Amino acid sequence: MSQPFGGPEQVTFLIGGLGAGKTELALNLSLWNAAQLGPGKSHLLDLDIINPFFRVRRLRAALEAAGVVLVTPDPRVQNGDLPALPARVWAAFEQPGHPIVCDVGGGELGLRPLARLTGLAGRRPVQVLCVINPYRPGCQTVEQVVAAMRRYSELSALTITHLVANPHLAAETTPEVFEAGLARLRAVADQVHLPLAFAMMSDALAVAYGDRLVPAATARAGGFATLDGLPVFVIRRFWEDPWHLGCKSDDVPPCGPTGA
C-alpha cells in the first residue's frame, strides 16, 4: 500500500486511542489529497466531538486555503463536548467524486457515535486505519495493543482494515526510537493478520534518515517514501507541544502539503 487512498470515492476512518496521532494524520492526508486532486476534492470530516483538545477546526482557514473542504459541527456548539454528529456529515457521504477522511477523536468515548455512520459509509469503498503509537500508555506491549484494537472495533462498529505505525516520543524521537516502536507494531500486525499500511514520520526525523528514505525527493512533509521496503508518510507535526499549535490560522503557506 504505497498511498492511503484507493480512489476518489474512498472513505478513510482514522481510529485509535487518545493521543495516538489521528488528527495529525487526518490533517496531512487531507492536504496530500488536495495536492493530488485539486481544490475542493478533498473532504475532511471533523468528528472529534468528545474530550476537546486538538481539533482540526482550529486550522480551518489554512486548510481551506490549501483546497481542503472541512466539515465541522455548527459553530455555536463546536467547542462543546457533545456525542452528536454534525448534519453536514450526512451530506458529505452523499456527494460523489471526492475522498473523505474522518478524524475521530476523544479516545474510546469518541468512537461511539461512529456506529451511526456505518450504513452510509458502506455505500463507498471504506478503509479503517488504526493509528498506534507504541509509546503511549496502554499500547506499550503487543498484548495491550491487540486488546485496545478489539475495543476500538466494538465501540465504533467498524472493522479495522489496516494498521498505521506512529512510533514517536515527540522531540525526543531518534531513528533508534522509531525503529524499536516499529518492530513492536510489526509484531502486532503479524498477530492480528492485518497489513501495516505505512508508518508516519515527522519531516524533522526524515532529515536524520537521509538516503535511507527512498526516493529522497519525496522525503519531506506531505510526501511518501519507503524505508527498508515499508511505505513511510512524511508528515508535518502541527501539534508540536501540549501548549503550542504548530500552525496559526492565518499562517497559510506553511500549512500546505509541502510546508516545512
- The 10s digit of each residue's pLDDT in 179-230 is 999 999 999 999 999 999 999 999 999 999 988 999 876 666 778 999 999 9
According to the model, what pLDDT value does residue 97 have? 82
Condensed to tens digits (0 to 9), the pLDDT of residues 215-224 reads 876 666 778 9
Condensed to tens digits (0 to 9), the pLDDT of residues 140-175 reads 999 999 999 999 988 888 899 999 999 999 889 999
CB 13 within 8 A of CB 128: yes
CB 83 within 8 A of CB 112: yes
According to the model, what pLDDT value does residue 58 have? 72
| Residue 75 pLDDT exceeds 80 | no
The residue among 200, 192, 194 whose CA lies nearest residue 127 is 194
Cis peptide leading into residue 99 (ω within 30°): no
Cβ neighbours of 130 (radius 10 Å):
26
Grid cell at residue 84: 452528536
The CATH class, in words, for 11-255 is alpha beta
| Stronger pLDDT, 184 or 62, i.e. the higher one | 184
For 131, what's the count of Cα atoms within 13 Å in the CB-facing half-sphere?
Answer: 27
- Out of 2-6, 85-89, 104-108, the most confident range is 85-89
Question: What DSSP character marks residue 169?
Answer: B
According to the model, what pLDDT value does residue 223 have? 86
